[in-house]
Amino acid sequence: MSYETGVRWKWIPFVVLAFVLLSWLVFEALDLIDFEGVVTRVRGIDPVWAAVAIFALLVVDVLLPVPSTPLIVLAGTALGLPLGLALAVIGSLGSSAAGYALGRFARPWLVRKVVTIDELTEMRRWGRQFGPWFFGVARGIPMMAETVSVSAGVSRVSFRTFMLFTLTGTVPICAAYVFAGSQAETVEEIVMICAAGLLLTVGLFYLLRRFVKAAP
């Protein structure tokens, strides 16, 4: 996909998140659903089951349009800062490793289901501009993370280099979201954290994109 074309499946997480935010505003305004005590119930979930569910959803994010930001925030809400951060980082790195393996070892027809030729070309431009730090930057932008992982595998970038620089971008973004989630006491706060993350990452994406386009 060229980034000039319409919404593709990689944008579905943001569409879903926007829909959830809008639905929450409507339900809250009309008092249709009682959200009181939801955070308490989330924190009462068996930590093992919460960890398994969040980890699995983070890893399959490379293939399925799963909104990763709310999952990372919920990791902090359900498990607290230390365990939530460890889970979010490991799950995010697992997703990146899965994307890399897909790009490197899968048959071309399967790779093209996830990343198009236009996307590969676009990612190479970003890579030339930022070098390996691009892998870390992309980890903080959900709409790019999966594409970059697969592109790195297709380009046969060193797996060690890819994972090292991905880790440098994964830890700070996960720490911010998990910490915010661990401090949340209401559904409203969780929703606002996710909304702020959505706006910041979309804004960062377009700023970086303009920078890359302006580069010679």
> pLDDT by residue (tens digit) across 158-181?
999 999 999 999 999 999 999 999
Residue 1: the pLDDT is 38
Confidence of residue 26 (pLDDT cuts 50, 70, 90): low
Amino acid at 58: L
Whether 9 has a pLDDT exceeding 50, the answer reads: no
Q: Is the pLDDT of residue 189 over 60?
A: yes
Q: What is the pLDDT of residue 73?
A: 92
**Distance in angstroms (rounded) separating the CA atoms of residues 14 and 184:** 21
Is the sign of the CA dihedral 176, 179, 182, 185 positive or negative? negative
pLDDT on residue 6: 35
pLDDT of residue 4: 39
Q: Reply yes or no on whether the pLDDT at 2 is more than 50.
A: no
pLDDT tops 60 at residue 147: yes
Q: pLDDT tens across 90-144, in order?
A: 999 999 999 999 989 988 877 877 777 888 888 888 888 888 888 998 888 866 8
Listed ranges 11-25, 58-72, 165-179; the one with the highest mean pLDDT: 165-179
Per-residue pLDDT band at 42 (split at 50, 70, 90): confident
CA atoms within 13 A on the CB side of 59: 13
Residue pair 185/134 in contact (Cβ under 8 Å)? The answer is: no
**Residue 1 vs residues 5, 42, 110, 127, 132: alpha-carbon distances, Å:** 7, 38, 15, 17, 22
**Which pLDDT does position 130 carry in this prediction?**
84
What's the pLDDT at 5? 35
Among the residue ranges 30-34, 56-60, 209-213, the one predicted with the least confidence is 30-34
Query: With contact defined as beta carbons under 8 Å apart, do 88 and 174 qualify?
Result: yes
Mean pLDDT of 79-97: 93
pTM, rounded to two decimals: 0.78
Residues contacting residue 192 through CB under 8 Å, at least 6 positions apart? none
∠ CA 75-200-15, rounded to 5°: 75
